[in-house]
Amino acid sequence: MAKKCEITGKKPASGQNRSHALNATKRRYLPNLIVKKVIDPKTGRMRRMKISTSALRTMNKSIR
């Protein structure tokens, strides 16, 4: 499965690890994803979605 948030569209970013000697090696910054059951507003049914934790916080804030 893709490492992509189904709500915000966050996906892996690329960058470099830097040592003390400033050697550069490639690395990936992965989004913090969880699988969560969410109610689909269009159909009203429960659906399992991969969402980022920041999207989950935003959803919880809007419920309050």
Q: Indicate whether 6 belongs to any domain.
A: no
Q: Indicate whether 44 belongs to any domain.
A: yes
Name the residue among 33, 35, 15 with its Cα closest to residue 24.
15
Structural domain of 50 = 13-63
Q: Indicate whether 36 belongs to any domain.
A: yes
Q: Indicate whether 2 belongs to any domain.
A: no
* pLDDT of amino acid 1: 62
The per-residue pLDDT of the chain, averaged, comes to 93
Q: Indicate whether 7 belongs to any domain.
A: no
The CATH number for 30's domain is: 2.30.170.40
Q: Indicate whether 24 belongs to any domain.
A: yes
Which pLDDT band, with edges at 50, 70 and 90, does 19 fall under?
Answer: very high
Helix (H, G, I), strand (E, B) or coil at 58: helix
What's the domain count of the chain? 1
The model scores a pTM over 0.85: no
* pLDDT of amino acid 63: 78
Please check whether residue 29 is in contact with residue 17, taking contact to mean a CB–CB distance below 8 angstroms. no
Count CB atoms within 10 A of the CB of residue 55: 23
Q: Indicate whether 4 belongs to any domain.
A: no
pLDDT in tens, 26-49: 999 999 999 999 888 789 999 999
* pLDDT of amino acid 20: 98
